[in-house]
Structure 1
Amino acid sequence: MAPLPRLGPSTVPAGAALNARPPAETGIVHLGLGNFHRAHQAVHTAAALAHTDGPWGILGVADRSTGVARALREQEMRYAVVEISPERTRITVPAVHTGALVAAERPDAVLDALAAPDTAIITLTVTEHGYTFSPRTHGLDLDAPAVRADLRGDAPPRTTIGRIVRGLQRRRRAHARPVTVLSCDNLVGNGAQTRRLVREFAEALPAAERDDLVPYLESAVTFPGSMVDRIVPATTDVYRDAVAAGLGVRDAVPVPAEPFSMWVMEDRFCAGRPRWEHSGALFTDDVEPYELLKLRLLNGTHSLIAYLGALDGRATIPESVARPFVADAARAVLYGDYLPSLTVPAGIDPDAYVAQLFERWANTALGHRTQQVGSDGSVKLRQRVPEPALLHLRAGRMPHHLALTVAAYLCCVTPPPGFSPGPHATAMVDPARERLAALARRAPAASGASRVAAVLDSGLLGTGLTEFPAFAARIAEFVDVIVRHGPGAAAAEAGRAAESEPKSEANSDPKSDPKSEPLHAS
C-alpha cells in the first residue's frame, strides 16, 4: 500500500478548507504556537477571511519547542483541526499562517516581526505561567532571573513581556503605525493585566530607554480585554490516524478540539482587525462578566474535576465526571461557591450554561486528560479561587468546595508524607511543585494545618485568604480526609457541610430575562 501524501496546499481535499484563499500578507504576530491558538484564534481568523479578505495572515512564534513550527513549515503552513464529539467527527484545514518561527532559534527575526510596519496585532496564548508576574503583587516579577536578564538587554529576550517590549522599542524607533496587543489567555482582566506588565517592564528600563518608550505605550498601543473558550486536548496518534482516515493525508500536527468555541473581545483595535464577528466572535464594551463566568464556572470547576478525578485514578475528564461524587462536587461548587460570586451576562441562562458545561466535560470522544487540566494549578487557582472564597468568608460563610479544590490540588502536587496521589496526579506539571514541597517540609511534621498555612502564606492564592485561618484549617481537614479515606469521602464531607451553610444568592438573576439563552458554539 502506497504511503499517504503529506498534508499541504495541493493535498487539502475539496470541502475541508476553511478559507479558500490564504492571506498573502502578515498582519498578526502570535506568540505561543500551541494547540489552543491553532484550534481557536486561527480557526476564527480563517472563518473571518472566508467571509472578508484582508491582510490578516498570522506569523506564529513558538518559544523553544521546534516540533510544531518545523512540521508547519514542512506542510506549507497547513494542519487539520479535528472536531470530535460522540455524535460525529469533523475535520477542517485553516490556512491562515504565513510563517512559523521559534524564538529561541531566531530571536531577532521575532523582534523584527513585532516591529514590522504591516503588523497591526500582536496576540498571545502563552498560558498564565508565561506572563512572569509575582503571585503576591500580580505585577511583573522583577526578581525573576529571566526578567532581570531581559531588562539588562545584553542578550535576546527570553520572557514574553520582554519580547513584546523590545519589539515595541524597535517599532517606536521605526515610526511604525500603532499596534494592538491582545492577550488570549485565562487571566482576570487579561488586557489590563498585560498592559500593566508591559508598562512595569518599560518603567524598569534605564532612563534613556524608559523616557522614550512609556509615552509611546500610552499613545500608540492598545490592550483590549478578551475571553476565550474551547477545550483543546493534546495531540496524539489517535488524531493523526483520524486525519489519515478522514482526509487521506498525513498530518504530523493535527489539533483535536471540541465543537464548542467562543471568543468575546473589547473592540479596541487601533490599526484594524479581521472581521471576526463573522466567525461567531462577540464584541462588547464589558468583557469582565463573560471572563469571570468562564474562569470560575468552567475553569475553576474543571480544576476540581481534574484533581478529584486524578486522585480517584481517572485518566480523563469524562471518566472523572462520570463518577457520581465528582459530578456532585462539581455541581455544588458551581451553584454554591462560584455562581453567587459573579454577575451573569445578560442573555445567558445559568442553568442552561451549567448543563452545557456538563455536556462538554462528558465528551468521551475527546478524552481530555486530568493530567493536562490539572497542570500549572499554582498559577491557575489564584485566578479562580481567592475572590469567590473571600466573598463568602467575609459574609460569614465557609466555601467548602473551594477549600476542597485547594486540598485536592495540594494532594496532587505536594502530597503529605507517605501518601501516593497516583500516576495521573504525579504527572501534573507545576512550576511551584518544588517550592511548595519545601514549604511543607519546613512546617511541623505533625500539623497538617501548619503545612497548609505555610503554603497560603507563600502567596499561592494571593494575600487576602491569610486573614481567614479557618479557611486554611478547612483545607487541612480535607487533605486529611483525602489521605485517610480518599477523594470520595472528602467530597461527601464537603457536600454535608455545604448543606448546613447559610445560602447566598447570585448577584443577578438572568432567568427573569425572557431573552436568556445558553451559549452556543460558533
Structure 2
Amino acid sequence: MPITEDPRTGRLTRSHHGAVPAPEGPARAGILHLGLGNFHRAHQAVYTAAAMAAGGGDWGIVGVASRSRAVVDAMRAQDLLYSVATISPDGTSLSIPGVHTDVFVAADEPSRAVESIADPAIRIVTLTVTENGYSSSPATGRLDTADPAIVGDLRGGDPRSTIGQLARGIQKRAGSGAPLTVLSCDNLAANGPHTKRLVRTFLEELPAAEGAEALAFLESSVSFPSSMVDRIVPSTTPALRGEVASLLGAWDDAPVPAEPFTMWAIEDDFAAGRPAWEAGGAVFSAEVGRYEQMKVRLLNGTHSLIAYLGALQGAETIPEAVVRPAIQGAARAVLAHEYTPSIQVPSGVDIAEYERQLFLRWGNTALGHRTSQVGTDGSVKLRQRIPEPALRLLDRGETPHLIALTVAAYLSCIAPRPGFDPGPFAAAMKDAARERLLAVAGSARTGADIAELSIADLQLFGGELADRPAFIERVGELVDTIAHDGVPAAIAESVTAAETEVAAPASASASEVRA
C-alpha cells in the first residue's frame, strides 16, 4: 500500500515528531510479538512503553505481521514510530509508544519468526492473532490436525501457522536451554493453558525422535501464563490520519484509534523475567480466569449481540446501535439474566460500576466502532463466549433466550434465510464459516433447518450445545421471527421470555413460603 504524505507536514520520525514527545527507543529487543495489528499497538506496546519509562530494561519489541505489509511499510518509513489516538467525546489526545526495535512480515521472511523465537535474547513471545489464529477445532477446542496449514507445518519447512511457528521455534530453542514465556493476549478461555496444549499437541504429532527434546523443554522451561486484555480499538481511517496530522504536526501513516478505557490482567508466571507492566496499570493476579469470564461474556458477548442486531437494523456503528431502546434493552437483559449470573467476579471489582462503564464505552460516538468489525469472525468468537453461560441455564431447565437471539442474529447476518436481506453492514462482515453456512441456508426451508445444520451438524459452537435440542429449537424460532416479523419483534419476544422465566422460579418460591 503506498504511503501518502500530507504536503503540509513532514513525516513522523524520531527527529520530527511534531507536538508529541517521541522516546529514544530501546536498544535491544526482549519481546517478539506475533500479530502486528491495531490492538497490539494500542495495548501491549503502550503498557511496555510505560514499563520501560518506569523501570528500563531490554524489553523492546520485534513486531511480526502475518501477511499484511501496510503497517510494516508505514512503520519502517517512520523510524518504527506511530501514534495512539485516544478518542472520547471530550476530544482526542495523542501519544507515541516508540518501543519497537524492528518489524517484519512473516510471509516475506518465513524462517525469521522461528529464528526469533529460538533467539535467547527474546524472553517473551506475545500474541494477538485473534481467536481464529490458533488452528483449533471449533467442536473440540483441540489442535485441528486436518487444517492444511498445520498439515504442512508438521511436514517441515518454514511454518505458516502461529502454532507451527511457536512449536518449531521452541523446538529449535531447546538446544540452547534458554527459558521462554509465551503470553497469549487473545480472547480465549484460559488462553495460557490453551496455547500450551495446542503447541504440545503439535510437538506430539512429530516423530518421537524429532519432538522428544522439545517436549521435555516445553515442560521444564517454557511458561504459558494466562492474561485478559481489554480495550476497544477500531480500524484506522483516512479521516483519523488527517486529524492526527493536524494535532501532531507530522504525518503518521499508521496511527491507531483507541478508547480511553484499558485493562490488562496477567498471571505472574514468567520463566525469564518481564517488564514492569504494572507501571502502565496492568494487574498481576491469581484470578485471571475470573477477569477472562467477565470480559469475554459481559463485554464481548454483549458486544456481539449489539453488533448483529444493529447491523440487521441498518446501524453502521456500535454507538448508533446501542442508543436504540430495543437493542439497549436486549443488551441489559442478556447481562442481567444470562451473562452476569454465570461469572465469578474478581476480587475488588464493582460489577455494577463495570457494567455502567460498558454502556459508556459502547456509546462513545467519537470512536465510531463499526458493527461489521465487531461482527466479523463470529463463528470463532461466539464459540468462546456463549457455550458455558448457555449450558448453565440449560442444565437448570431454563432457556437462554438472549444468547439464542445472539446466535439467531449472527446466522441472519452471515447466512440469512432465502429472501431475507440482512443489509450492507451484515454483508461486510467477514467469516471463515460463511461459505459453509450459506450452503446450509440455501437448502433450508425454515429457521429450524438453519439452526439444526449449523449448531448440531457443523457443531459451530461446540459439541455440548450441538446436543441441546431446546437451544437449537429456540435459535430456529428466532431466525424465523427475524425473517418474518423483523428484529424489534425478535428482541421483544426474547426479552419478555427471559424476564418471564426469571420471574417464574421467584413466584414458585413465594407460593411455597405461603404454603
Q: TM-score range by the shorter chain?
A: over 0.9
Residue of structure 1 equivalent to 2:130: 127
Is the CA contact 1:115–1:176 (under 8 Å) kept in the aligned structure 2? no
Residue of structure 2 equivalent to 1:4: 9
* Equivalent position amino acid for 1:308 in 2: L
Is the CA contact 1:16–1:91 (under 8 Å) kept in the aligned structure 2? no
Residue of structure 1 equivalent to 2:292: 291
Offset from partner CA, 1:326-384 (integer Å, 9 cap, x none): 10000000111101111111211211111100000000000000000000000000111
Q: 1:504 to 1:304 in 2, by over 3 A?
A: farther
Q: Which moved more, 1:351-360 or 1:459-468?
A: 459-468
Residue of structure 1 equivalent to 2:508: none
2:62 alignment partner, one of 59, 66, 69? 59
- Residue aligned with 2:111, SS: helix
Offset at 1:396?
1.2
* Equivalent position amino acid for 2:30 in 1: G
Distance 1:407 1:455 in 2: 11
Residue of structure 2 equivalent to 1:447: 446
List aligned pairs for 1:310-389, cutoff 5 A.
310-389=311-390
Ranges of 4+ aligned residues in structure 1 off by more than 4 Å: none
Q: 1:172 to 1:504 in 2, by over 3 A?
A: farther
Residue of structure 1 equivalent to 2:18: 13
Offset at 1:14?
5.4
2:488 maps to 1:485? no
Is the CA contact 1:183–1:226 (under 8 Å) kept in the aligned structure 2? yes
Distance 2:446 2:299 in 1: 33
Residue of structure 2 equivalent to 1:435: 436
* Equivalent position amino acid for 1:83 in 2: T
Q: 1:219 to 1:328 in 2, by over 3 A?
A: same
Distance 2:248 2:219 in 1: 48
Offset at 1:440?
3.2
Distance 1:132 1:55 in 2: 32
Is the CA contact 1:116–1:176 (under 8 Å) kept in the aligned structure 2? no
Residue of structure 1 equivalent to 2:169: 167
Distance 1:2 1:27 in 2: 37
Distance 1:448 1:81 in 2: 44
Offset at 1:2?
5.3
Residue of structure 1 equivalent to 2:116: 113
Offset at 1:468?
2.1
- Residue aligned with 1:82, SS: strand
1:47 alignment partner, one of 47, 50, 62? 50
* Equivalent position amino acid for 1:80 in 2: S
* Equivalent position amino acid for 1:245 in 2: S
Q: 1:388 to 1:2 in 2, by over 3 A?
A: closer
* Equivalent position amino acid for 2:490 in 1: A
Offset at 1:242?
1.5
Offset at 1:261?
0.6
Offset at 1:450?
2.4
- Residue aligned with 1:151, SS: helix
Residue of structure 2 equivalent to 1:78: 81
Offset from partner CA, 1:50-83 (integer Å, 9 cap, x none): 1111100000000011110111111011000000
Structure 2 gap ranges (5+): 1-5, 506-515
Distance 1:315 1:95 in 2: 33
Offset at 1:205?
0.7
Distance 2:257 2:114 in 1: 31
Q: 1:446 to 1:108 in 2, by over 3 A?
A: closer
Offset from partner CA, 1:240-262 (integer Å, 9 cap, x none): 11211111111111000001110
Distance 1:141 1:109 in 2: 24
- Residue aligned with 1:27, SS: strand
Q: 1:218 to 1:503 in 2, by over 3 A?
A: farther
Residue of structure 1 equivalent to 2:198: 197
Distance 1:360 1:489 in 2: 27
Offset at 1:446?
2.9
Is the CA contact 2:447–2:478 (under 8 Å) kept in the aligned structure 1? no
- Residue aligned with 1:500, SS: helix
- Residue aligned with 2:195, SS: helix
Distance 2:47 2:243 in 1: 22
Distance 1:135 1:325 in 2: 31
Q: Which moved more, 1:349-358 or 1:121-130?
A: 349-358
List aligned pairs for 1:122-521, cutoff 5 A.
122-153=125-156, 155-173=157-175, 175-442=176-443, 445-457=444-456, 458-502=458-502
Offset at 1:438?
2.1
Q: 1:454 to 1:78 in 2, by over 3 A?
A: same
Distance 1:14 1:427 in 2: 37
Distance 2:372 2:7 in 1: 37
Offset at 1:441?
3.6
Distance 2:49 2:196 in 1: 27
C-alpha root-mean-square deviation of aligned residues, in Å? 1.3
Offset at 1:466?
2.6
Offset at 1:504?
10
Offset at 1:448?
2.3
Q: What number of residue pairs does the alignment pair up?
A: 499
Q: Percent identity?
A: 56
List aligned pairs for 1:21-40, cutoff 5 A.
21-40=24-43
Structure 1 gap ranges (5+): 506-522
* Equivalent position amino acid for 1:374 in 2: G
Q: Which moved more, 1:175-184 or 1:219-228?
A: 175-184
Is the CA contact 1:440–1:455 (under 8 Å) kept in the aligned structure 2? no
Is the CA contact 2:9–2:251 (under 8 Å) kept in the aligned structure 1? yes
* Equivalent position amino acid for 1:85 in 2: S
- Residue aligned with 1:501, SS: helix
* Equivalent position amino acid for 2:414 in 1: V
Distance 1:14 1:257 in 2: 19
Offset from partner CA, 1:130-165 (integer Å, 9 cap, x none): 001001110000011110000000x31110000111
Distance 1:343 1:361 in 2: 23
Distance 2:14 2:103 in 1: 16
Offset from partner CA, 1:207-264 (integer Å, 9 cap, x none): 2111121111001100000000000000001211121111111111100000111000
Q: Which moved more, 1:244-253 or 1:466-475?
A: 466-475
Distance 2:131 2:344 in 1: 24
Distance 1:171 1:157 in 2: 15
Offset at 1:431?
0.5
